[in-house]
Structure 1
Protein backbone atom coordinates (compact mmCIF):
# COMPACT_ATOMS: atom_id res chain seq x y z
CA UNK A 1 0.00 0.00 0.00
CA UNK A 2 1.29 3.39 -0.95
CA UNK A 3 1.63 6.12 1.69
CA UNK A 4 1.54 8.87 -0.96
CA UNK A 5 -1.21 11.48 -0.39
CA UNK A 6 -2.93 12.20 -3.69
CA UNK A 7 -3.77 15.92 -3.93
CA UNK A 8 -4.67 16.06 -7.62
CA UNK A 9 -7.56 13.60 -7.58
CA UNK A 10 -10.61 15.23 -9.23
CA UNK A 11 -13.53 16.11 -6.94
CA UNK A 12 -16.62 13.92 -7.29
CA UNK A 13 -19.35 15.31 -9.48
CA UNK A 14 -22.49 16.49 -7.63
CA UNK A 15 -25.85 16.00 -9.29
CA UNK A 16 -27.93 19.19 -8.92
CA UNK A 17 -31.70 19.11 -9.22
CA UNK A 18 -33.11 21.72 -11.56
CA UNK A 19 -35.24 24.38 -9.81
CA UNK A 20 -38.09 25.84 -11.84
CA UNK A 21 -38.05 29.64 -12.21
CA UNK A 22 -40.26 31.76 -9.85
CA UNK A 23 -43.42 33.29 -11.16
CA UNK A 24 -44.18 37.04 -10.78
CA UNK A 25 -46.62 36.30 -7.88
CA UNK A 26 -44.00 34.22 -6.03
CA UNK A 27 -41.40 36.99 -6.40
CA UNK A 28 -43.81 39.52 -4.83
CA UNK A 29 -44.52 37.32 -1.79
CA UNK A 30 -41.90 37.66 1.01
CA UNK A 31 -40.33 34.50 2.19
CA UNK A 32 -41.64 33.08 5.44
CA UNK A 33 -39.18 33.43 8.32
CA UNK A 34 -37.42 30.35 9.52
CA UNK A 35 -39.07 28.64 12.44
CA UNK A 36 -37.52 29.67 15.78
CA UNK A 37 -35.73 27.02 17.75
CA UNK A 38 -37.78 25.80 20.71
CA UNK A 39 -36.87 27.55 23.99
CA UNK A 40 -35.07 25.37 26.47
CA UNK A 41 -37.33 23.93 29.12
CA UNK A 42 -37.32 25.81 32.44
CA UNK A 43 -35.50 23.94 35.19
CA UNK A 44 -37.76 22.12 37.60
CA UNK A 45 -38.17 23.87 40.97
CA UNK A 46 -35.94 22.55 43.67
CA UNK A 47 -37.61 20.21 46.07
CA UNK A 48 -38.11 21.61 49.60
CA UNK A 49 -35.41 20.66 52.03
CA UNK A 50 -36.29 17.71 54.16
CA UNK A 51 -36.58 18.38 57.89
CA UNK A 52 -33.62 17.54 60.05
CA UNK A 53 -33.08 13.91 60.85
CA UNK A 54 -31.74 14.53 64.36
CA UNK A 55 -35.00 15.74 65.88
CA UNK A 56 -36.16 14.16 69.13
CA UNK A 57 -38.69 11.41 68.59
CA UNK A 58 -42.26 12.60 68.36
CA UNK A 59 -41.38 16.22 67.52
CA UNK A 60 -41.58 18.36 64.39
CA UNK A 61 -40.39 21.90 63.57
CA UNK A 62 -42.99 24.58 64.30
CA UNK A 63 -40.95 27.74 63.72
CA UNK A 64 -37.65 29.34 64.62
CA UNK A 65 -36.12 32.06 66.78
CA UNK A 66 -33.66 34.59 65.38
CA UNK A 67 -31.59 36.24 68.11
CA UNK A 68 -30.33 39.69 67.10
CA UNK A 69 -27.64 41.35 69.19
CA UNK A 70 -27.71 45.14 68.83
CA UNK A 71 -28.43 47.95 71.27
CA UNK A 72 -30.17 51.24 70.55
CA UNK A 73 -26.90 53.17 70.22
CA UNK A 74 -25.52 50.79 67.57
CA UNK A 75 -28.85 50.78 65.76
CA UNK A 76 -28.96 54.58 65.79
CA UNK A 77 -25.43 54.69 64.37
CA UNK A 78 -26.81 52.73 61.40
CA UNK A 79 -29.74 55.13 61.04
CA UNK A 80 -32.39 52.74 62.38
CA UNK A 81 -33.96 51.64 65.66
CA UNK A 82 -34.89 48.26 67.10
CA UNK A 83 -38.52 48.86 66.14
CA UNK A 84 -37.56 49.64 62.54
CA UNK A 85 -35.51 46.44 62.32
CA UNK A 86 -38.37 44.35 63.69
CA UNK A 87 -40.85 45.90 61.24
CA UNK A 88 -38.50 45.20 58.32
CA UNK A 89 -38.08 41.56 59.33
CA UNK A 90 -41.83 41.15 59.72
CA UNK A 91 -42.48 42.59 56.26
CA UNK A 92 -39.94 40.21 54.73
CA UNK A 93 -41.51 37.22 56.47
CA UNK A 94 -45.00 38.31 55.39
CA UNK A 95 -43.85 38.49 51.76
CA UNK A 96 -42.11 35.09 51.83
CA UNK A 97 -44.59 33.22 54.01
CA UNK A 98 -47.93 35.05 54.48
CA UNK A 99 -49.20 32.32 56.80
CA UNK A 100 -46.37 32.80 59.30
CA UNK A 101 -47.15 34.27 62.72
CA UNK A 102 -44.58 36.48 64.43
CA UNK A 103 -43.88 37.63 67.97
CA UNK A 104 -41.07 39.95 69.02
CA UNK A 105 -39.72 40.87 72.43
CA UNK A 106 -36.86 43.09 73.51
CA UNK A 107 -34.17 41.52 75.69
CA UNK A 108 -33.17 43.49 78.78
CA UNK A 109 -29.90 42.91 80.60
CA UNK A 110 -28.15 44.61 83.49
CA UNK A 111 -26.50 47.88 82.46
CA UNK A 112 -22.86 47.29 81.58
CA UNK A 113 -23.24 43.54 81.08
CA UNK A 114 -20.17 42.37 79.21
CA UNK A 115 -19.82 39.92 76.35
CA UNK A 116 -21.13 39.89 72.81
CA UNK A 117 -24.54 41.45 72.33
CA UNK A 118 -26.03 38.33 70.78
CA UNK A 119 -24.80 36.16 73.68
CA UNK A 120 -26.32 38.57 76.20
CA UNK A 121 -29.62 38.43 74.25
CA UNK A 122 -29.64 34.62 74.13
CA UNK A 123 -29.01 34.42 77.86
CA UNK A 124 -31.58 37.11 78.71
CA UNK A 125 -34.25 35.29 76.67
CA UNK A 126 -33.31 31.93 78.21
CA UNK A 127 -32.14 30.25 75.01
CA UNK A 128 -31.55 26.65 76.19
CA UNK A 129 -28.00 26.12 74.94
CA UNK A 130 -26.88 29.50 76.28
CA UNK A 131 -28.37 28.77 79.70
CA UNK A 132 -26.81 25.30 79.73
CA UNK A 133 -23.34 26.84 79.46
CA UNK A 134 -23.79 28.91 82.59
CA UNK A 135 -23.53 27.79 86.18
CA UNK A 136 -26.13 28.45 88.80
CA UNK A 137 -25.44 31.64 90.67
CA UNK A 138 -24.70 31.24 94.39
CA UNK A 139 -27.50 32.27 96.69
CA UNK A 140 -26.81 35.48 98.55
CA UNK A 141 -29.89 35.60 100.75
CA UNK A 142 -27.74 35.61 103.88
CA UNK A 143 -25.89 38.70 102.65
CA UNK A 144 -29.16 40.46 101.77
CA UNK A 145 -30.95 40.02 105.09
CA UNK A 146 -32.03 43.68 105.15
CA UNK A 147 -33.83 45.53 102.43
CA UNK A 148 -35.81 44.37 99.40
CA UNK A 149 -34.69 41.72 96.94
CA UNK A 150 -36.61 41.59 93.66
CA UNK A 151 -35.81 38.14 92.29
CA UNK A 152 -36.71 38.39 88.60
CA UNK A 153 -35.62 34.85 87.75
CA UNK A 154 -37.73 33.22 90.49
CA UNK A 155 -40.65 35.65 90.43
CA UNK A 156 -40.50 36.53 94.12
CA UNK A 157 -39.78 39.40 96.48
CA UNK A 158 -37.79 39.10 99.70
CA UNK A 159 -38.27 41.75 102.38
CA UNK A 160 -35.68 41.72 105.16
CA UNK A 161 -34.89 38.11 104.24
CA UNK A 162 -38.51 36.93 104.30
CA UNK A 163 -40.55 35.99 101.24
CA UNK A 164 -43.39 38.48 100.71
CA UNK A 165 -46.88 37.23 99.78
CA UNK A 166 -47.14 39.05 96.46
CA UNK A 167 -49.82 38.04 93.99
CA UNK A 168 -48.76 37.39 90.41
CA UNK A 169 -50.10 40.77 89.23
CA UNK A 170 -48.45 42.62 92.12
CA UNK A 171 -45.09 41.10 91.22
CA UNK A 172 -45.60 41.87 87.53
CA UNK A 173 -46.42 45.46 88.42
CA UNK A 174 -43.28 45.87 90.53
CA UNK A 175 -41.12 44.08 87.95
CA UNK A 176 -42.44 46.30 85.16
CA UNK A 177 -41.35 49.42 87.06
CA UNK A 178 -38.01 47.95 88.17
CA UNK A 179 -37.01 46.92 84.64
CA UNK A 180 -37.70 50.49 83.48
CA UNK A 181 -35.69 52.15 86.19
CA UNK A 182 -35.83 55.95 86.15
CA UNK A 183 -38.65 56.14 83.62
CA UNK A 184 -42.08 57.43 84.58
CA UNK A 185 -44.74 54.93 83.49
CA UNK A 186 -48.20 56.25 82.76
CA UNK A 187 -51.23 54.48 84.17
CA UNK A 188 -52.54 53.72 80.68
CA UNK A 189 -49.30 51.92 79.81
CA UNK A 190 -49.41 49.81 82.97
CA UNK A 191 -52.96 48.71 82.24
CA UNK A 192 -52.31 48.01 78.57
CA UNK A 193 -49.07 46.09 79.24
CA UNK A 194 -50.07 44.01 82.26
CA UNK A 195 -53.72 43.26 81.58
CA UNK A 196 -55.50 41.96 78.50
CA UNK A 197 -58.56 43.86 77.31
CA UNK A 198 -60.66 40.75 77.97
CA UNK A 199 -59.47 40.28 81.57
CA UNK A 200 -62.35 40.51 84.02
CA UNK A 201 -60.11 42.17 86.61
CA UNK A 202 -58.52 44.68 84.23
CA UNK A 203 -58.44 48.02 86.10
CA UNK A 204 -59.18 51.42 84.68
CA UNK A 205 -56.66 54.24 84.61
CA UNK A 206 -57.63 55.33 88.11
CA UNK A 207 -58.22 51.94 89.71
CA UNK A 208 -54.59 51.10 88.93
CA UNK A 209 -53.88 53.30 91.96
CA UNK A 210 -55.60 50.67 94.12
CA UNK A 211 -53.19 48.01 92.87
CA UNK A 212 -50.24 50.26 93.58
CA UNK A 213 -51.50 50.93 97.13
CA UNK A 214 -51.75 47.19 97.79
CA UNK A 215 -48.26 46.72 96.41
CA UNK A 216 -46.86 49.46 98.66
CA UNK A 217 -48.64 48.01 101.69
CA UNK A 218 -46.78 44.72 101.22
CA UNK A 219 -43.48 46.57 100.81
CA UNK A 220 -43.99 47.98 104.30
CA UNK A 221 -41.31 50.47 105.32
CA UNK A 222 -39.85 50.26 101.81
CA UNK A 223 -43.01 51.49 100.13
CA UNK A 224 -41.30 54.62 98.81
CA UNK A 225 -39.33 52.60 96.26
CA UNK A 226 -42.44 52.96 94.07
CA UNK A 227 -42.69 56.71 93.55
CA UNK A 228 -45.77 58.63 92.44
CA UNK A 229 -45.36 61.20 89.69
CA UNK A 230 -48.41 63.38 90.16
CA UNK A 231 -50.69 63.63 87.15
CA UNK A 232 -48.63 61.09 85.20
CA UNK A 233 -48.03 57.70 86.83
CA UNK A 234 -45.32 55.84 88.74
CA UNK A 235 -41.56 55.38 88.68
CA UNK A 236 -38.85 53.23 90.25
CA UNK A 237 -35.52 54.93 90.96
CA UNK A 238 -32.26 53.35 92.01
CA UNK A 239 -32.61 52.65 95.73
CA UNK A 240 -29.96 51.64 98.25
CA UNK A 241 -32.37 49.23 99.96
CA UNK A 242 -33.23 47.31 96.77
CA UNK A 243 -31.25 44.49 95.19
CA UNK A 244 -32.31 42.96 91.86
CA UNK A 245 -31.51 39.38 90.92
CA UNK A 246 -31.65 38.74 87.20
CA UNK A 247 -30.64 35.09 87.32
CA UNK A 248 -29.91 33.87 83.78
CA UNK A 249 -31.38 36.99 82.23
CA UNK A 250 -34.17 39.46 82.67
CA UNK A 251 -37.42 38.44 81.01
CA UNK A 252 -39.08 41.42 79.43
CA UNK A 253 -42.80 42.01 78.94
CA UNK A 254 -42.01 44.50 76.15
CA UNK A 255 -43.41 43.64 72.74
CA UNK A 256 -43.07 45.44 69.42
Structure 2
Protein backbone atom coordinates (compact mmCIF):
# COMPACT_ATOMS: atom_id res chain seq x y z
CA UNK A 1 0.00 0.00 0.00
CA UNK A 2 1.32 3.42 -0.89
CA UNK A 3 1.62 5.77 2.08
CA UNK A 4 1.94 8.87 -0.04
CA UNK A 5 -1.46 10.10 1.11
CA UNK A 6 -0.43 10.27 4.76
CA UNK A 7 -0.12 13.74 6.28
CA UNK A 8 3.58 14.37 6.88
CA UNK A 9 3.26 17.42 9.11
CA UNK A 10 5.49 16.94 12.17
CA UNK A 11 3.86 14.54 14.59
CA UNK A 12 4.33 14.89 18.32
CA UNK A 13 5.71 12.04 20.39
CA UNK A 14 4.50 12.28 23.97
CA UNK A 15 6.17 10.11 26.66
CA UNK A 16 3.59 8.49 28.91
CA UNK A 17 5.61 6.18 31.12
CA UNK A 18 9.15 5.11 31.76
CA UNK A 19 10.72 2.44 33.92
CA UNK A 20 14.46 2.12 34.33
CA UNK A 21 16.27 -0.72 36.01
CA UNK A 22 19.97 -1.75 36.05
CA UNK A 23 20.93 -3.31 32.76
CA UNK A 24 22.13 -6.89 32.84
CA UNK A 25 25.13 -8.10 30.87
CA UNK A 26 24.10 -9.73 27.64
CA UNK A 27 24.46 -13.53 27.73
CA UNK A 28 22.45 -14.26 24.61
CA UNK A 29 23.94 -16.10 21.67
CA UNK A 30 24.89 -14.29 18.49
CA UNK A 31 21.75 -13.11 16.66
CA UNK A 32 21.79 -13.59 12.90
CA UNK A 33 19.84 -10.34 12.42
CA UNK A 34 22.60 -8.30 14.12
CA UNK A 35 25.39 -7.17 11.76
CA UNK A 36 28.98 -8.00 12.62
CA UNK A 37 30.54 -5.50 15.00
CA UNK A 38 27.24 -4.55 16.66
CA UNK A 39 25.15 -5.93 19.47
CA UNK A 40 21.42 -6.09 20.13
CA UNK A 41 20.40 -3.61 22.85
CA UNK A 42 16.63 -4.00 22.67
CA UNK A 43 13.76 -3.83 20.22
CA UNK A 44 10.82 -1.66 19.21
CA UNK A 45 7.22 -2.84 19.04
CA UNK A 46 4.91 -0.47 17.15
CA UNK A 47 1.28 -0.76 18.23
CA UNK A 48 -1.29 0.85 15.95
CA UNK A 49 -4.59 1.59 17.69
CA UNK A 50 -6.50 4.80 18.28
CA UNK A 51 -8.52 5.71 21.36
CA UNK A 52 -11.86 4.83 19.75
CA UNK A 53 -10.72 1.34 18.75
CA UNK A 54 -9.23 0.73 22.19
CA UNK A 55 -12.50 1.80 23.82
CA UNK A 56 -14.48 -0.48 21.50
CA UNK A 57 -12.24 -3.34 22.67
CA UNK A 58 -12.99 -2.44 26.30
CA UNK A 59 -9.63 -0.91 27.17
CA UNK A 60 -7.55 2.24 26.69
CA UNK A 61 -4.02 3.12 25.64
CA UNK A 62 -2.68 3.46 29.18
CA UNK A 63 -3.94 0.01 30.11
CA UNK A 64 -2.35 -1.56 27.02
CA UNK A 65 0.97 0.11 27.88
CA UNK A 66 0.75 -1.07 31.50
CA UNK A 67 0.07 -4.66 30.44
CA UNK A 68 2.95 -4.72 27.95
CA UNK A 69 5.35 -3.27 30.53
CA UNK A 70 4.21 -5.84 33.07
CA UNK A 71 4.81 -8.65 30.57
CA UNK A 72 8.31 -7.36 29.79
CA UNK A 73 9.14 -7.20 33.50
CA UNK A 74 7.83 -10.73 34.02
CA UNK A 75 9.82 -12.19 31.13
CA UNK A 76 12.98 -10.23 31.92
CA UNK A 77 13.11 -8.36 35.26
CA UNK A 78 16.33 -6.60 34.22
CA UNK A 79 14.76 -5.05 31.12
CA UNK A 80 14.17 -1.32 30.75
CA UNK A 81 11.04 0.01 29.09
CA UNK A 82 10.00 3.30 27.57
CA UNK A 83 6.58 3.98 26.07
CA UNK A 84 5.37 6.94 24.04
CA UNK A 85 2.13 7.97 22.37
CA UNK A 86 2.43 8.96 18.70
CA UNK A 87 0.18 11.89 17.80
CA UNK A 88 -0.72 12.48 14.16
CA UNK A 89 -3.08 14.94 12.46
CA UNK A 90 -6.71 13.89 12.87
CA UNK A 91 -7.96 12.01 9.84
CA UNK A 92 -4.52 10.98 8.56
CA UNK A 93 -5.09 8.11 6.16
CA UNK A 94 -3.52 4.68 6.18
CA UNK A 95 -3.27 1.89 8.72
CA UNK A 96 -2.82 2.97 12.33
CA UNK A 97 0.47 1.11 12.66
CA UNK A 98 1.86 2.84 9.55
CA UNK A 99 0.88 6.25 10.91
CA UNK A 100 2.60 5.38 14.20
CA UNK A 101 5.78 4.24 12.45
CA UNK A 102 5.95 7.48 10.48
CA UNK A 103 5.25 9.60 13.56
CA UNK A 104 8.03 7.83 15.48
CA UNK A 105 10.45 8.22 12.54
CA UNK A 106 10.88 4.52 11.79
CA UNK A 107 13.59 4.44 9.07
CA UNK A 108 11.88 1.74 7.00
CA UNK A 109 8.55 3.57 7.09
CA UNK A 110 10.19 6.88 6.17
CA UNK A 111 11.97 5.27 3.23
CA UNK A 112 8.72 3.75 1.99
CA UNK A 113 6.88 7.04 2.41
CA UNK A 114 9.50 8.94 0.40
CA UNK A 115 9.11 6.50 -2.49
CA UNK A 116 7.12 8.09 -5.31
CA UNK A 117 5.00 5.39 -6.92
CA UNK A 118 4.93 5.18 -10.70
CA UNK A 119 1.73 4.98 -12.70
CA UNK A 120 1.61 1.20 -12.41
CA UNK A 121 1.93 1.36 -8.62
CA UNK A 122 -0.88 3.91 -8.38
CA UNK A 123 -3.10 1.74 -10.57
CA UNK A 124 -2.68 -1.17 -8.13
CA UNK A 125 -3.26 0.79 -4.96
CA UNK A 126 -6.57 1.79 -3.47
CA UNK A 127 -10.17 0.80 -2.87
CA UNK A 128 -12.94 0.84 -5.45
CA UNK A 129 -16.45 0.56 -4.01
CA UNK A 130 -18.65 -0.23 -7.01
CA UNK A 131 -22.25 0.27 -5.91
CA UNK A 132 -23.65 -0.57 -9.34
CA UNK A 133 -22.00 -4.00 -9.48
CA UNK A 134 -22.17 -4.64 -5.74
CA UNK A 135 -18.48 -5.30 -5.38
CA UNK A 136 -15.37 -3.94 -3.67
CA UNK A 137 -11.89 -4.02 -5.21
CA UNK A 138 -8.81 -3.85 -2.98
CA UNK A 139 -5.70 -3.11 -5.05
CA UNK A 140 -7.57 -4.52 -8.07
CA UNK A 141 -8.51 -7.72 -6.22
CA UNK A 142 -12.16 -8.43 -5.44
CA UNK A 143 -12.94 -8.49 -1.72
CA UNK A 144 -14.92 -11.57 -0.72
CA UNK A 145 -17.78 -9.74 0.99
CA UNK A 146 -21.06 -11.44 1.81
CA UNK A 147 -24.29 -9.81 0.64
CA UNK A 148 -24.97 -8.47 4.13
CA UNK A 149 -21.41 -7.16 4.54
CA UNK A 150 -21.71 -5.24 1.28
CA UNK A 151 -25.10 -3.85 2.36
CA UNK A 152 -23.54 -2.67 5.60
CA UNK A 153 -20.66 -0.97 3.80
CA UNK A 154 -22.99 0.56 1.20
CA UNK A 155 -25.25 1.97 3.92
CA UNK A 156 -22.29 3.77 5.48
CA UNK A 157 -20.86 4.88 2.14
CA UNK A 158 -24.13 6.54 1.10
CA UNK A 159 -24.03 8.49 4.35
CA UNK A 160 -20.38 9.43 4.08
CA UNK A 161 -19.07 11.40 7.05
CA UNK A 162 -22.18 10.78 9.14
CA UNK A 163 -22.02 8.62 12.25
CA UNK A 164 -24.66 5.87 12.15
CA UNK A 165 -25.67 4.29 15.43
CA UNK A 166 -26.08 0.55 15.86
CA UNK A 167 -29.85 0.65 16.24
CA UNK A 168 -30.24 2.37 12.86
CA UNK A 169 -28.02 -0.17 11.14
CA UNK A 170 -30.04 -3.05 12.55
CA UNK A 171 -33.41 -1.50 11.71
CA UNK A 172 -32.35 -0.57 8.17
CA UNK A 173 -30.47 -3.71 7.12
CA UNK A 174 -32.43 -6.51 8.78
CA UNK A 175 -36.15 -7.22 8.47
CA UNK A 176 -38.42 -8.90 10.99
CA UNK A 177 -38.37 -12.05 8.84
CA UNK A 178 -34.60 -12.47 9.09
CA UNK A 179 -33.50 -15.35 11.28
CA UNK A 180 -30.17 -13.78 12.28
CA UNK A 181 -31.17 -10.29 13.40
CA UNK A 182 -28.28 -8.95 15.53
CA UNK A 183 -28.63 -6.84 18.64
CA UNK A 184 -26.62 -3.74 19.44
CA UNK A 185 -23.76 -5.87 20.74
CA UNK A 186 -23.58 -8.47 17.99
CA UNK A 187 -23.74 -5.83 15.23
CA UNK A 188 -20.14 -5.11 16.26
CA UNK A 189 -19.25 -8.64 15.12
CA UNK A 190 -20.63 -7.94 11.64
CA UNK A 191 -18.64 -4.71 11.45
CA UNK A 192 -15.50 -6.47 12.67
CA UNK A 193 -15.83 -9.13 9.96
CA UNK A 194 -16.33 -6.46 7.31
CA UNK A 195 -13.26 -4.54 8.44
CA UNK A 196 -11.19 -7.72 8.49
CA UNK A 197 -12.03 -8.32 4.83
CA UNK A 198 -11.03 -4.76 3.96
CA UNK A 199 -7.48 -5.61 5.04
CA UNK A 200 -5.10 -2.66 4.86
CA UNK A 201 -8.06 -0.35 4.23
CA UNK A 202 -10.09 -1.32 7.28
CA UNK A 203 -10.00 2.21 8.66
CA UNK A 204 -12.43 3.50 6.04
CA UNK A 205 -15.03 2.14 8.47
CA UNK A 206 -14.40 4.07 11.66
CA UNK A 207 -15.65 3.31 15.14
CA UNK A 208 -17.02 6.43 16.82
CA UNK A 209 -16.81 5.88 20.55
CA UNK A 210 -20.21 5.63 22.18
CA UNK A 211 -22.01 6.59 18.96
CA UNK A 212 -21.65 4.04 16.17
CA UNK A 213 -19.81 3.79 12.87
CA UNK A 214 -18.82 6.14 10.05
CA UNK A 215 -17.42 5.81 6.53
CA UNK A 216 -14.32 7.95 6.00
CA UNK A 217 -13.15 8.35 2.43
CA UNK A 218 -9.37 8.60 1.91
CA UNK A 219 -7.47 9.79 -1.13
CA UNK A 220 -7.08 6.18 -2.30
CA UNK A 221 -10.81 5.37 -2.09
CA UNK A 222 -13.08 5.61 -5.12
CA UNK A 223 -16.86 5.21 -4.98
CA UNK A 224 -18.63 4.34 -8.21
CA UNK A 225 -22.31 5.18 -7.92
CA UNK A 226 -25.12 3.69 -9.97
CA UNK A 227 -26.36 5.55 -13.05
CA UNK A 228 -29.66 6.24 -11.29
CA UNK A 229 -30.11 7.45 -7.70
CA UNK A 230 -30.03 4.64 -5.18
CA UNK A 231 -33.28 4.11 -3.25
CA UNK A 232 -31.07 3.90 -0.17
CA UNK A 233 -29.78 7.45 -0.66
CA UNK A 234 -31.53 10.22 1.22
TM-score range, shorter chain: 0.3 to 0.5
More strand by share: 2
More helix by share: 2
The higher radius of gyration belongs to 1
TM-score (norm 1): 0.42
TM-score (norm 2): 0.46
